[in-house]
Amino acid sequence: MDLADLKAGRLSAADYASNFADAHPPLNRPQALIEAERCYYCYDAPCQTACPTGIDIPTFIQRVAQDNVRGAAEAILTANPLGGMCARVCPTEVLCEQACVRNTNESKPVEIGLLQRYAVEGYLAHPGKPLFTRATPTGRRVAVVGAGPAGLAAAHGLAVHGHDVTLFDANAKLGGLNEYGLATYKVAGGFAQKEVDWLLSIGGITPRLNCRLGRDITLDGLLTEYDAVFLGLGLAGVNALGIAEPELPGLQSSYRDAVDFIAELRQSEPSQVAVGRQVVVIGGGMTAVDAAVQSKLLGAEQVTMVYRRGIDGLSASTHEQHWAQTNGVTIRCWARPLAVEAEGGVLTGMRFAATKLEGGKLVDTGEQFTLKADLVLRAIGQTFDAAPAGAAIELQSGRIKTDDDGRTSLARVWAGGDCRAGGKDLTVEAVEHGKRAALSIHTALTGVAHG
């Protein structure tokens, strides 16, 4: 039976190349020098306070201005070993750049993200001698489970202090969301793996890929073999829409999770990824935007993001919303999915119920409508899958409960990143979790205070 009008190769090779190129091209040297000059070198800089990893932003920008790219990179990477990826994916418009004092008179902050990218990538292009050297090996062994931003930051921090790290990940490549979960145009040039390679160059980190907690290894087993464990498990589960989903042949490819669609795009040539002519994306977060925009860039004619509440409720930032709209995505609010529509066993669309707020509660208005679709992507959020870590670890709101340093309820077990309760699901926050947990583990293992 025919599938919906879902196919790869809708565009020319040139269109794929330009559509999936760097969304925000890096600054060249003259641009960086001019932009760096705009930094006022604030005292107790608000941008630094706004950065979850506390990068000394005035210092790194001053070094860029003085043409000292290596020194700039050192200032960044000391505070944030994934400063390169964060420069590309941080929502700077709500973090450092929102805090920039230039906003007051100009509504145009210093382009901190682009300058950070200039510094880190300029350094990585000509790294020279290592920026960080490993302390004398301590003989202590730490298992880091999950090689996403939190796990990578933890592994790097632990390795710097001389501990031996085994870095487990269920996937075939290191990087976690950096490798599988971000839109291709955000990480052009294979940057995720370049950054991983640099992080591992410190030494003392042994990757173990295709190794899944709960299947290939267990927490108890790790605690037997290692002195400490850091869990950077991410969010392995996907929220269900909570509607009846018919058994249709081929439904798997025309009605799928946005995270899988995004991962497929990262692991394939865009020209190999199938997309419909009409795409509906359900959800209002960054994942929804990444999926919707990339659908458009793959050649879909009509892409609609549907969100059940009003525009103010979208978790995608205003910047991300504008990015979606600029790329031709329609954002439709106040509608919740009701049913998958099909004809002759083929997906034809999604039926929605219009919603409104009534007394603070979201209710149906009674109106319904159908959006035609050959492809429906679900992006209504991910959940922490607690099972692999075992029942003993204490949770809070469905994620792992920790103290500020990432200590869990279990002795010798730390956790960080999206699997840790109380966060905002930001890459830069995950890095800070990993960085702090590494220091905490180091202190616990050696009895030496942070240093």
Partner 1 sequence: MADLSTNFLGIKSPNPFWLASAPPTDKEINVRRAFEAGWGGVVWKTLGEDPPVVNVNGPRYATLWSQDRRVIGFNNIELISDRPLQTNLDEIRRVKRDFPDRAMIVSLMVPVNEASWKAILARVADTGADGVELNFGCPHGMSERGMGSAVGQVPEYIQQVTEWCKTHTKLPVIVKLTPNITDVRFPARAAHAGGADAVSLINTINSIMGVDLDTMVMSPSTDGQGSHGGYCGQAVKPIALNMVAEIARDPATAGLPLSGIGGITTWRDAAEFIAMGCGTVQVCTAAMVYGFKIVQDLCSGLSNFMDEKGYTSLDDFRGRAVPTVKNWNQLNLNHVDKAVINQDSCIQCGRCHIVCEDTSHQAIFATKDGQRHFHVNDAECVGCNLCVSICPVPGTITMRALQPGETDARTGRVIDGSYANWTTHPNNPMSTSCS
From 99-107, 192-200, 208-216, 307-315, span contacting partner 1 (CB under 8 A): 99-107
Q: Using CB under 8 A, which residues numbered 288 to 347 contact partner 1?
A: none
Contact 390, 293 (CB under 8 A): no
Q: Which is nearer to partner 1, 19 or 116 (CB)?
A: 116
What is the per-residue binding string for partner 1 in 57-96, x denoting contact by CB under 8 A? --------x-------------------------------
From 16-24, 97-105, 141-149, 372-380, span contacting partner 1 (CB under 8 A): 97-105
Position among 24, 102, 212, 351 found at the interface with partner 1 (CB under 8 A): 102
From 14-22, 28-36, 159-167, 324-332, span contacting partner 1 (CB under 8 A): 28-36
Q: Which is nearer to partner 1, 84 or 109 (CB)?
A: 109
Closest contact distance (angstroms) between CB of 29 and partner 1 is 12
Helix, strand and coil percent figures for the chain, each rounded to 5:
40, 20, 40
C-alpha 442/C-alpha 83 separation (Å) is 22
Q: Which is nearer to partner 1, 47 or 282 (CB)?
A: 47
Q: Which is nearer to partner 1, 98 or 218 (CB)?
A: 98
Q: Provide the 10 A C-beta neighbour count for residue 308.
A: 19
Pairing mode, strands 361-372 and 346-358: antiparallel
Q: Which is nearer to partner 1, 33 or 223 (CB)?
A: 33
Count the site residues for partner 1 by CB under 8 A.
16
Closest contact distance (angstroms) between CB of 9 and partner 1 is 46
From 29-37, 235-243, 316-324, 395-403, span contacting partner 1 (CB under 8 A): 29-37
Q: Which is nearer to partner 1, 75 or 430 (CB)?
A: 75
Q: Which is nearer to partner 1, 29 or 322 (CB)?
A: 29
What would the DSSP string read from start to end of 213-266? BTTTB-HHHHHHH-SEEEE-----EE----S-----TTHHHHEEEHHHHHHHHH
Q: Which is nearer to partner 1, 32 or 265 (CB)?
A: 32
Burial (Cβ within 10 Å: 0-12, 13-18, ≥19) of residue 70:
middle
Closest contact distance (angstroms) between CB of 378 and partner 1 is 43
Contact 200, 188 (CB under 8 A): no
C-alpha 212/C-alpha 169 separation (Å) is 6
Give, as one character, the DSSP assignment of residue 8: S
Q: Using CB under 8 A, which residues numbered 126 to 165 contact partner 1?
A: none
C-alpha 442/C-alpha 138 separation (Å) is 10
Q: Which is nearer to partner 1, 105 or 136 (CB)?
A: 105
Q: Is 104 in the site for partner 1 (CB under 8 A)?
A: yes
Q: Which helix (H) or strand (E) holds 384?
A: none
C-alpha 139/C-alpha 192 separation (Å) is 30
Residue 273: alpha-carbon gap to chain centroid: 21
Q: Which of 194, 196, 204, 161 is nearest to 176 (CA)?
A: 196
Closest contact distance (angstroms) between CB of 46 and partner 1 is 7
Closest contact distance (angstroms) between CB of 71 and partner 1 is 15
Closest contact distance (angstroms) between CB of 102 and partner 1 is 8
C-alpha 118/C-alpha 72 separation (Å) is 9
Closest contact distance (angstroms) between CB of 307 and partner 1 is 36
Closest contact distance (angstroms) between CB of 123 and partner 1 is 19
C-alpha 324/C-alpha 317 separation (Å) is 11
Q: Which is nearer to partner 1, 47 or 314 (CB)?
A: 47
- CA separation, residue 370 to residues 82, 253, 337, 340, 365 (Å): 43, 20, 9, 9, 15
C-alpha 182/C-alpha 265 separation (Å) is 9
Q: Which helix (H) or strand (E) holds 288?
A: helix 286-297
Q: Using CB under 8 A, which residues numbered 31 to 50 contact partner 1?
A: 33-34, 36-37, 40-46
Give, as one character, the DSSP assignment of residue 93: G
Closest contact distance (angstroms) between CB of 105 and partner 1 is 6
Closest contact distance (angstroms) between CB of 306 and partner 1 is 41
Under the rule (CB under 8 A), what is the footprint of partner 1? 33-34, 36-37, 40-46, 65, 101-102, 104-105
